[in-house]
């Protein structure tokens, strides 16, 4: 029997923690990563908790879901590094 490709209906279901980070959140985090002079993603995630006026909340941001930053890789920085410079 041929294997069937199961088509899933595109229903956005918001579940618990092991879900992928909301792409909008990723986009915002990326923006702040750039604004902060390409600070590492862990620092970006922590920032709203330590400052006011950012208007964002990265509590649900999973750093592992962040895309690689082209600029960082060009200059040899690793935004995923936990104890970067």
Q: Where does this chain bind Zn ion (CB under 5 A)? A: 38, 69, 71-72
Nearest to 47 by CA among 64, 66, 67, 61: 61
Q: Report the nearest approach of Zn ion to the CB of residue 29 (Å).
A: 11
**Of 35 and 60, which CB lies nearer to Zn ion in the complex structure?**
35
Which of 12/23 has CB closer to Zn ion? Answer: 23
- Give the residue closest to Zn ion by C-beta: 69
């Amino acid at each position: 029997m041929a294997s069937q490709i199961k088509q899933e209906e595109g229903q956005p279901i918001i579940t618990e923690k092991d879900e992928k980070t909301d792409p909008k959140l990723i986009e915002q985090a990326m923006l702040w990563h750039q604004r902060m002079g390409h600070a590492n993603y862990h620092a970006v995630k922590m920032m709203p908790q330590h400052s006011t006026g950012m208007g964002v909340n990265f509590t649900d941001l999973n750093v592992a879901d962040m895309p690689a930053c082209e600029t960082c890789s060009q200059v040899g920085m690793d935004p995923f590094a936990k104890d970067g410079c």
